[in-house]
Amino acid sequence: MKKTILVSSILFALNLNAQESDEGLNDLEPVVTTSDHRPKNDTSVNLENKIVIADLREGTFQTEISTSISVLDSETIEAAGTQHFEDILSLVPNLNWSAGSNRPRYFQIRGIGERSQYEGAPNPSVGFVVDDIDFSALGGVATLFDVEQIDVLRGPQGTRYGANGLAGLIYVKTFAPEFENSYKFESLIGDDGDLALGFRATGGLSDNAAYRFSVHQYNANGFRDNDFLNVDDTNERDEFVARGKIHWHNSDNLNIDFTLLKADINNGYDAFSPENTLVVHSDKPGRDEQDSTGLGMKIKKDLNAFDLVSISSYMKADIFYSFDGDWGNDDYWGEFAPYDFTSDTDRERRHISQEFRLLSNENSRLFDNTDWLVGLYYLDMAENNDILDLYNGFVDRELSSQFDSESLALFVQFDTHLSESNTLSTGLRFETRDANYKDTNGVDVSPTDNMWGGQISLNHDISKNLNSYVTLSRGYKAGGFNLSLSVPDNLREYQPESLWNLETGIKGYFLDYKLQLNASVFYSKREDMQISTSRQEDPNDPLTFVYLTSNAATGSNYGIETDFNYQISQSIAVYGSLGLLNAEFDDFVTAEGNFNGRDQAHAPKYTFSLGAEYQNINGFFARIDANGKDSFYFSDSHDQQSKSYQSYNLRLGYQADAWSVTLWGNNIFDKKFATRGFFFGLEPPNYESTQYLQLGSPRHMGVSFDYEF
């Protein structure tokens, strides 16, 4: 029903004639905001044309970007989110995530992306960047306090981000320092034992320097009851994030921004039970911990002939991930005891990166109509892993590994203004990666990958308030290797994957800038797909459940993405998004069967959100959100599927000049849904293959209080 309403609204909007406005997009009056930009007593119903942070030029309007993109601004984050990016994922069409962890680490865009703890090289298909610091495959750091904007770019980002952008990119930007002194406290309490407290301060240090500092601590129980240990916090959430930022500039058009990030995510992991419920029985609950330090420095300099941008970053993460492999205890397993499996992974990752960009300005355009950009990117990555699996107190597997790689990329982009209403953009990126891996099992490999990607796009201004585009792009992903001793030598390494994407869409405003609409249609062809299949080498040993990746298939991913925001009146707005996706294998035949024509894993055929917000001029506000997704396959190696579902979130509150209070409820009708599924033999004596589910959060309610001065 909700999806039908959403589709009807979109079709209605598409049939509207584009209306000319006396003012262009650049002249829109900004929304009056308070309390970190939440709308208060707004007297204008015009919508803003949002700035895209993740673009190479970093200041492009959303309507001018020739790719499908969702921009979640601070108002949306504050109004719809509670603590983590997980809370607002459903607002983005064709974005999915897989659990197997306490918080989302792995994302899928248009059905493409990793789903599990990897062994070997960190090799994500979806990039995850926070303030220019790369946290790909480490999504647990994505807490929402003091976050200004989240950009989600869908489709290959071969020119912008290279090997980590095969499927797309998620870019998180926190608030920048301000010269006017202000402070903010934020607190939260909820029915899962939630307690949170945050503090933020910003202000001037001198006439040309400003700072911003934020710190936030969040604790919750994690929605699981352990009946063996008689506690309710073995799946706990203990998340601490501190951030310091300094901005400095001088009269010579030199700007320097420093960012220091510290994230201590000390979460438990006790999410599975043989009965697929929220009651767990483990005697040795796992952990999902991440202690990360990030440092970034961005320098911008106007050199008259062109502009220089330098981006330097350092990231170090200590990650500990463990789980109780049998999900039980001796009393639970009774006559089959002792039956005890545990697995621990201790991981240390380090990134050092440097990027230089030279950007043309009005003084250096080519042929008076072509803006250009040339860049160089270098990445030095190292990662050490120690894995220990125990069976009934004895070592079942012990593995230590070391991985390091160096990547070097050169990229260029040209934006040629063919006419007042037509712009042709072309981009190209060449990247080489030299990697080295060795472990205590005797695996010693040193692959080198040479890869390329890019795009060509035409942006056409239909009118002052409506743009259209068509883009052909190519993305790529580096190769890797398998670690299991049973893998044949000829399957030890796998090669890079590539993706061609053809996309067209419109972005603009209707009804005198009261209705914003984005819509795109895309078709992608995946070549040399890196397919992760799984098997249990010993049917009596669940810890022999291993993954094997190979370039085993080709695939087609196509669909539609759209979102809208309609400011009906000064007080009422409605909004929504819809993603339709068909992601299937064209050529994928294995020993397990013929998967030609079958859907790829974690690729629901639809995702949607629909909501409304009411803001009274006296300060009272309310918001309701409905979201849902279709069923999807949990894995490419079996036919087990999730169930489709819809859930609803509700916000009620009051906003004064300096403070606000919000009563919130997530999944208010307590809908049961799965975020991850496995299919293997766990239960003695027969160890029959069975579907096991990690369930999403049940009904969750609480109250938040903010005070700014």
Cα atoms in the Cβ-side hemisphere of radius 13 Å centred on 395:
5
Check whether 573 has a pLDDT greater than 80: yes
> Count of H helices and E strands in the chain?
3, 42
Question: Between 10 and 620, whose confidence is greater?
Answer: 620
pLDDT of res. 5: 37
Which token pair is 443? 């695996």
Higher-confidence position of 21 and 268: 268
Q: Is the predicted pLDDT of residue 689 greater than 50, yes or no?
A: yes
- Summary mean pLDDT of the chain: 88
Q: How confident is the model at residue 636 (pLDDT cuts 50, 70, 90)?
A: confident
* 76 secondary structure, DSSP code: H
Read off the pLDDT band of 543 (50, 70, 90).
Answer: low
User: For the purposes of burial, counting CB atoms within 10 Å of the CB of 425, is it exposed (0-12), middle (13-18) or buried (19 or more)?
Assistant: buried
Domain spanning 2-708, CATH class? mainly beta
What is the DSSP track for 19-39?
Answer: PP-SS-GGGPPPPPEETTTEE
Q: Say what the pLDDT of residue 39 is.
A: 41
Tokens of 153: 């770019």
Residue type, 544: T
Q: Which long-range contacts (CB under 8 A, 24 or more apart) does 518-521 make?
A: 518/62, 518/68, 518/69, 518/561, 518/562, 518/563, 518/564, 519/10, 519/14, 519/560, 519/561, 519/562, 520/68, 520/560, 520/561, 520/562, 521/558, 521/559, 521/560
Which single residue is written with the structure tokens 């979109």? Answer: 10
With a cut of 70, say whether residue 162 has pLDDT above it. Answer: yes
Phi-psi region of 367 (alpha: psi -120 to 50; beta: other; left: phi over 0): left
What local confidence, expressed as pLDDT, does residue 65 receive?
A: 85
Q: What percent of the chain has pLDDT over 90?
A: 72
Question: What are the residue ranges spanned by the domains of the chain?
Answer: 2-708
**Tens of pLDDT along 403-454?**
999 999 999 999 999 999 999 999 999 999 999 999 998 888 898 999 999 9
pLDDT at 34: 34
228 within 8 A of 282, measured Cβ to Cβ? yes
Strand partners, 583: 557
Q: What is the mean pLDDT of residues 455-471?
A: 94
Q: What is the mean pLDDT of residues 497-524?
A: 95
> What is the C-alpha separation between 523 and 500, in angstroms, rounded?
8
- The closest of 349, 350, 344 to 386, measured between CA atoms, is 344
Q: What is the pLDDT of residue 637?
A: 78
User: How distant, in Å, are the alpha carbons of 382, 569, 636 from that of 616?
Assistant: 53, 11, 49
For the cut 50, the answer to whether the pLDDT of residue 540 exceeds it is yes
* 651 in Cβ contact with 662 (< 8 Å): yes
Indicate if the pLDDT at residue 569 is higher than 80.
yes
**For residues 128-142, average pLDDT:** 89
- Give the tens place of pLDDT for each residue, 51-93: 888 888 876 777 788 899 999 999 999 999 999 999 999 999 9
> Does the structure show a pLDDT above 60 at 127?
yes
Q: Please tell me the predicted confidence (pLDDT) of residue 479.
A: 87
Mean of pLDDT values over 604-611? 97
Banded pLDDT at 32 (limits 50, 70, 90): very low
Q: Strand 466-477 vs strand 497-510: parallel, antiparallel, or unpaired?
A: antiparallel
How far the first Cα of the chain sits from its last, in Å, is: 44
Average pLDDT (683-696) is: 93
Instruction: Give the pLDDT confidence score for residue 1 in this predicted structure.
Output: 40
Residue 216's pLDDT band (cuts 50, 70, 90):
very high
pLDDT of 10 above 50? no
Tell whether the model's pLDDT for residue 332 goes beyond 80: yes
DSSP E strands in 99-159: the ranges are 106-109, 126-130, 133-134, 147-154
What pLDDT does 114 receive? 87
3-state secondary structure 360-391: ECCCCCECCCEEEEEEEEEEEEEEEEEEEEEE
Mean pLDDT value across residues 257-285: 96
Q: Give this prediction's pTM.
A: 0.90
CB atoms within 10 A of CB 700: 20
Q: How far apart are CA 450 and CA 479, in angstroms?
A: 10
Q: How far apart are CA 687 and CA 390, in angstroms?
A: 19
Cα–Cα dist 263/317, whole Å: 9
Q: Is 137 helix (H, G, I), strand (E, B) or coil?
A: coil
**pLDDT confidence of residue 17:** 39
Q: Which of 18-22, 309-313, 639-643 tops mean pLDDT?
A: 309-313
Q: Is the predicted pLDDT of residue 475 greater than 50, yes or no?
A: yes
Q: What is the pLDDT of residue 163?
A: 86
Q: Looking at residue 40, what is its pLDDT? A: 40
Q: Which residues, listed in sequence order, are joined to residue 300 by a DSSP beta bridge?
A: 255, 309
What integer is the mean pLDDT of 652-664?
Answer: 96
> Residue 619 class from Cβ within 10 Å (0-12 exposed, 13-18 middle, 19+ buried)?
middle
